[in-house]
Amino acid sequence: MDPVLERKEFLESTNHFGQVLAERKIHLVYGGGSLGLTGGVSITAFLGGNQVVGVIPKALAKGDFIGKTIREKLQVSTMSDRMNAISNHVDAFIALPGGLGTLEEIFHISSWAQLHIHHKPIGLLNVNGFYDNLLSFLDQVVEQKFLTSSA
């Protein structure tokens, strides 16, 4: 089993998030797959009767890196195409706790917002303070004037 999924607080939070999406009929567009926290959200949202669309690059679709995509799958050529497709299909972004890929996506979408490429809300599912240090770092970046507080 995925060691992250063995951590009860992460699993409970993401399952609850999937339930909230389903209850509010908020469609989920995500990076595809059934593994990890995002996979758990997709399964919970789908079982709750929600529309779920996984956007997956061809390279990831070939292997078993991310598990099976729940329900509808939109296959794209590259990771950049994936970010473009997700951005074009969503009203808001929510980042779950994650690793380098998640951090890349947070900064990618945030920089697009700063450049006014999109005006969609960006949120962090900050389970047990997972993102506290990142937020403190960003506060420091603002204090050092490398970023405006509005960004």
Q: Rounded to the nearest 5°, which phi and psi values hold at 7?
A: -85, 110
Structural domain includes residue 107: yes
Domain boundaries, position 88:
8-143
Structural domain includes residue 56: yes
Structural domain includes residue 95: yes
Structural domain includes residue 91: yes
The pTM is what? 0.86
Return the structure tokens found at 27: 């469609």
Structural domain includes residue 106: yes
Structural domain includes residue 26: yes
- The DSSP call for residue 129 is G
pLDDT at 76 over 80: yes
Q: d(Cα 68, Cα 39) in Å, to the nearest integer?
A: 9
Structural domain includes residue 113: yes
Q: What is the CATH number of the domain that holds 66?
A: 3.40.50.450
Number of structural domains in the chain: 1
Residue of 85, 11, 74 lying closest to 41 (CA atoms): 11
Q: d(Cα 48, Cα 28) in Å, to the nearest integer?
A: 12
> Is the distance from CB of 55 to CB of 29 less than 8 angstroms?
yes
pLDDT at 136 over 80: yes
* 109-134 confidence digits (pLDDT tens): 999 999 999 999 999 999 999 999 99
